[in-house]
């Protein structure tokens, strides 16, 4: 897993999967509905998208330095 993928997983675990007893180990499909589909509040999805956007901006600034 790349550092960027790990950062995205961290965002997902913090903003989307905070209710799981054990955080997800990857964002890959697990192949069953119970592990792949969740009911999520729109504000959690918004927060995750904002965090991912900021991660992309940070990565772009690093590339331009």
Residuewise pLDDT in 10s, the chain (65 residues): 898 899 999 999 999 998 888 899 999 999 999 999 999 999 999 999 999 999 999 989 988 98
**Tokens representing 42?**
């729109």
Residues 41, 49, 31: CA angle, nearest 5 degrees: 70
| Angstrom distances, CA of residue 31 to CA of 5, 24, 63, 64 | 20, 14, 36, 39
How confident is the model at residue 52, as a pLDDT? 95
* pTM of the predicted protein model: 0.77
């Amino acid at each position: 897993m790349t550092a960027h993928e790990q950062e995205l997983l961290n965002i997902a675990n913090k903003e989307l999967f905070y209710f799981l007893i054990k955080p997800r180990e990857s964002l890959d499909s697990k192949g069953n509905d119970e592990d792949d589909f969740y009911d999520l509040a729109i504000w959690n999805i918004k927060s995750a998208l904002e965090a991912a956007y900021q991660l992309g901006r940070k990565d772009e600034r690093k590339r331009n330095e």
